[in-house]
């Protein structure tokens, strides 16, 4: 068997396996309101929050015939700002959208990204996920008030764990709480963990005094009684979790992690309207409702410009906190 045959076989294999994903389907849009050949950029790695949101939404929209030939691809890096840079760079491209969320807002500051989310075209806010303030079952703290008292007395030793890097949602929430109870954010001893999972181990093992993270990964532990939730950060109580909101516990903070969709700047008004409409229609599909239920997400739909206003206010809120910490 000659070398050439082997090389040819290898080359053929490679061509078959690698070429299709590198090419974009180049279909033009039809007359119906179905969007074709949309590319969805996910600015974090497979399995991350934006990834699951994007893939779930794309699947639901394809099943409901709102989309055809949608392609979800990942461009992770620098808390989502690498993907943001790409999106902002594709000015006028009405066939690209980016899945994003609160984390990207903070990452823009911590990474000193030259591009801001305010440069993009906001399409829709999709979902919300509240954070919880959580301790192990044998922790001395049984109420938010107790925790706050101990925290104010000794901010250095009452350590806070969170599942995100500085600038991310789990970092912002305790900083906002600290500010609200009169503790300078700089004194907060925040310990970042690589995701909610790693944080969970530290909360369970009593390594950190308390943790702040999304509720998703913790439901089972809460039900099993190994974790105690002191408060939820959303405006209303959460179904199935026996804990007051922060406001009910005397801390004037309302905070939710949210995710949404933005498009490149300078896209045509028709393209924008079409994209907003697709996501509006997504709300009505049973597939999406089921996905919300399955993932424990709260529907928080806000179309185009409404989302834009929200994005601006979130941007301001994040910037103030990070400025206090010297990160922005």
Minimum Å gap between C-beta 200 and another protein is 5
| Exposure letters 107-124 (e unless 16+ CB within 10 A, then b) | bbbbbebebbbebbbbbb
State the residues that interact with another protein by CB under 8 A: 3, 6-7, 10, 14, 17-18, 22, 45-47, 51-52, 55-56, 58-59, 73-79, 81-82, 85, 110-113, 156-157, 159, 165-167, 189, 191-192, 194-195, 197-198, 200-202, 204-205, 207-208, 216-217, 219-221, 223-224, 226, 294-295, 327
Nearer to another protein, 164 or 256 (CB): 164
Tell me how many degrees the CA angle 6-11-16 measures, rounded to the nearest 5. Answer: 130
Locate tokens 């700089």: which residue? 186
Nearer to another protein, 39 or 272 (CB): 39
| Exposure letters 222-247 (e unless 16+ CB within 10 A, then b) | beeeebbbbbbbbeeebeebebbbbb
Minimum Å gap between C-beta 157 and another protein is 5
Minimum Å gap between C-beta 185 and another protein is 13
SS3 237: coil
Short-list 288, 290, 128, CA closest to 215: 128
Nearer to another protein, 69 or 143 (CB): 69
Tell me how many degrees the CA angle 86-272-122 measures, rounded to the nearest 5. Answer: 55
Minimum Å gap between C-beta 114 and another protein is 8
Write phi, then psi, for 282 (nearest 5 degrees).
-55, -35
Minimum Å gap between C-beta 250 and another protein is 26
Nearer to another protein, 82 or 263 (CB): 82
Nearer to another protein, 143 or 226 (CB): 226
């Amino acid at each position: 068997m000659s070398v050439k045959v082997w090389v040819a076989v290898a080359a053929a294999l490679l061509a078959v396996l690698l070429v299709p994903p590198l090419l974009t389907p180049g279909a033009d849009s039809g007359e119906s309101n179905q969007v074709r050949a949309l590319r969805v950029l996910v600015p974090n790695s497979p399995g991350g929050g934006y990834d699951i949101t994007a893939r779930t939404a794309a699947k639901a929209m394809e099943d409901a015939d709102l989309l055809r030939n949608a392609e979800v691809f990942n461009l992770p890096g620098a808390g989502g700002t690498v993907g943001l840079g790409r999106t902002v760079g594709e000015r006028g491209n009405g066939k690209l959208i980016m899945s994003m969320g609160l984390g990207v807002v903070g990452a823009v500051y911590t990474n000193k990204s030259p591009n801001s989310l305010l440069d993009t075209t906001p399409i829709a806010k999709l979902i919300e996920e509240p954070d919880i303030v959580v301790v192990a079952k044998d922790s001395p703290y049984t109420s938010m008030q107790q925790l706050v008292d101990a925290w104010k007395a000794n901010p250095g030793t009452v350590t806070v764990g969170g599942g995100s890097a500085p600038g991310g949602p789990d970092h912002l929430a305790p900083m906002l709480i600290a500010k609200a109870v009169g503790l300078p954010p700089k004194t907060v001893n925040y310990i970042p963990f690589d995701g909610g999972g790693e944080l969970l181990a530290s909360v369970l093992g009593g390594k950190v005094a308390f943790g702040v993270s999304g509720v998703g990964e913790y439901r089972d532990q809460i039900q099993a009684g190994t974790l105690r939730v002191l408060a939820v950060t959303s405006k209303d109580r959460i179904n199935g979790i026996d804990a007051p909101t922060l406001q009910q516990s005397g801390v004037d903070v309302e905070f939710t992690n949210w995710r949404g969709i933005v498009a490149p700047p300078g896209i045509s008004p028709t393209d924008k309207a079409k994209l907003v409409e697709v996501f509006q229609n997504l709300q009505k599909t049973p597939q999406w409702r089921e996905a919300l239920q399955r993932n424990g997400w709260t529907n928080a739909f806000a179309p185009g410009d409404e989302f834009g206003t929200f994005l601006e206010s979130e941007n301001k809120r994040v910037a103030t906190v990070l400025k206090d910490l010297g990160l922005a």
